[in-house]
Structure 1
């Protein structure tokens, strides 16, 4: 169970996350949506302690995540895997080695420096790549892969951590619709097959509805919606994205579906929100 209590993050005079209070039970798949600057990425970064709360607390089970230091913080970085929009791979290293880097928090400093990965760890890495359908790329430099393949390598690396939680910060933002589906299917499999809590920031409403048991909408650093996909009504969407004057929202302009008509992607009705306004950060 995650417990967020009045979690706030300020950058100078700007409040990026404002008094967020949430409970997230173990094993949920949660999508966080909202406009650019809504606080989605900052919230995820505080969970993984890439940023510290200005005030409030984040607890996971009996651990106060917001106060962890030293070895306890390193163990949390092992248990809480992070998948980034830009993959964060080492382009010159081969795919297998990139995946094996997910074991670093399980190893001593000396063995990590010497890259002394065991046979069992290498088998585990190949199995992770097979699960993502990219085992044939194991010996290629990671930088030679397509964006969709690189994101799958990043997911395989996360699996190597044997995490209790997976965070994904806009994991499909730079991918084409087909690769977006493959990546989201992989995250859904991790949630359902392994029982791992998955929390992901998304900028597409159809993806959140299709994959997430629970959707959290943020606006100006605050949670303004918290419910199921069925509860994400037009009124709730307007509350999240701030459509002025009841302007119509054409959700097809943010769709990841490969079946969305080309005309719908090219044409935007008068008074609707622009695609740029819906892209999260």
Structure 2
């Protein structure tokens, strides 16, 4: 169980996360949505302790995460794997080595600095790449891969940590719809197969609804919605995202990653068209 109690982070006079209290049971897949600047990324970075809370507490299975220091903190960051929007791979290193770097907090630092990995670690890394369908890239340098491939390498690296929780910060924000689906399918598979808690920040409502059993909506650093996808009504969306200059709510089609692009019904009627699926574009 992850427990956040009145978690707050201030940057000077600005409050990025404002008194957030949340509980996430083990094995849940949670999507956090909200406008840019709502505090989503800061919240995840505090859970991983990449950002220090100004006040409040973080607990996981009875351990006070917000008080950890030194080796105990490094162990937490091993157990709480982080996946970033910009992948955070080492471009000049090959894919296999990038994946094996997920073992950093499991082994002596000197061995990692010298890129000395065991046979078992290499087998484990290849298996992670095979699971994500990119084993053929193992000996390529990471910088030569597409964005979707790099994000899958980042997920494979997270798997190498043997984490108890995975935090994904806008993992599909820079990906095309087809690669976004592949990445989200991979995260859901990790959640369902291993029973690992996955908490992911998302900027698309259809993705949150399709993949997450629970959605948390943030606005101005606060949680303004917490419920099932079916409970994310137009009124709830309006509270999370606000309105346009004319007072209208957002058009959800503008936040879609769907690879199916339907032709409007009026156009279909006039020219006899069926919805077109633009797959792989």
TM-score (norm 1): 0.92
Residue number in structure 2 paired with 1:44: 44
Stretches of structure 2 that go unaligned for 5 or more consecutive residues are 266-281
Report if aligned partners of 1:41, 1:201 keep a CA contact under 8 Å in 2.
yes
Structure 1 residue 250 displacement after superposition: 1.5
Residue number in structure 1 paired with 2:114: 114
Q: How does 1:81-230 map to 2 (within 5 A)?
A: 81-230=81-230
Structure 1 residue 187 displacement after superposition: 0.2
Report if aligned partners of 2:241, 2:250 keep a CA contact under 8 Å in 1.
no
Residue number in structure 2 paired with 1:70: 70
Does the residue aligned with 1:8 lie in a helix, a strand or coil? Answer: strand
Q: Distance in 1 between matches of 2:18 and 2:211?
A: 27
For the aligned residue pairs, the C-alpha RMSD in angstroms reads: 1.2
Q: Distance in 2 between matches of 1:2 and 1:249?
A: 32
Report if aligned partners of 1:95, 1:139 keep a CA contact under 8 Å in 2.
yes
Report if aligned partners of 2:84, 2:170 keep a CA contact under 8 Å in 1.
yes
Does the residue aligned with 2:22 lie in a helix, a strand or coil? Answer: strand
Residue number in structure 2 paired with 1:25: 25
Structure 1 residue 246 displacement after superposition: 4.7
Residue number in structure 1 paired with 2:275: none
Report if aligned partners of 1:252, 1:260 keep a CA contact under 8 Å in 2.
no
Q: Distance in 2 between matches of 1:182 and 1:111?
A: 33
TM-score (norm 2): 0.92
Cα-to-partner distance string for 1:174-223 (whole Å, 9 max, x where unaligned): 00000000000000000000100000000000000000000000000000
Q: Distance in 1 between matches of 2:129 and 2:108?
A: 24
Report if aligned partners of 1:164, 1:197 keep a CA contact under 8 Å in 2.
yes
Does the residue aligned with 2:133 lie in a helix, a strand or coil? Answer: coil
Cα-to-partner distance string for 1:126-145 (whole Å, 9 max, x where unaligned): 00000000000000000000
Runs of 4+ in 1 over 3 A off after TM superposition: 261-264
Residue number in structure 2 paired with 1:271: none
Q: Distance in 2 between matches of 1:218 and 1:248?
A: 16
Q: Distance in 1 between matches of 2:159 and 2:44?
A: 18
Structure 1 residue 115 displacement after superposition: 1.9
Q: Distance in 2 between matches of 1:243 and 1:66?
A: 36
After TM superposition, the structure 1 stretch with the greater mean CA deviation from structure 2, 181-190 or 108-117, is 108-117
Report if aligned partners of 2:4, 2:20 keep a CA contact under 8 Å in 1.
yes
Does the residue aligned with 2:261 lie in a helix, a strand or coil? Answer: coil
Larger radius of gyration: 2
Report if aligned partners of 1:238, 1:246 keep a CA contact under 8 Å in 2.
no
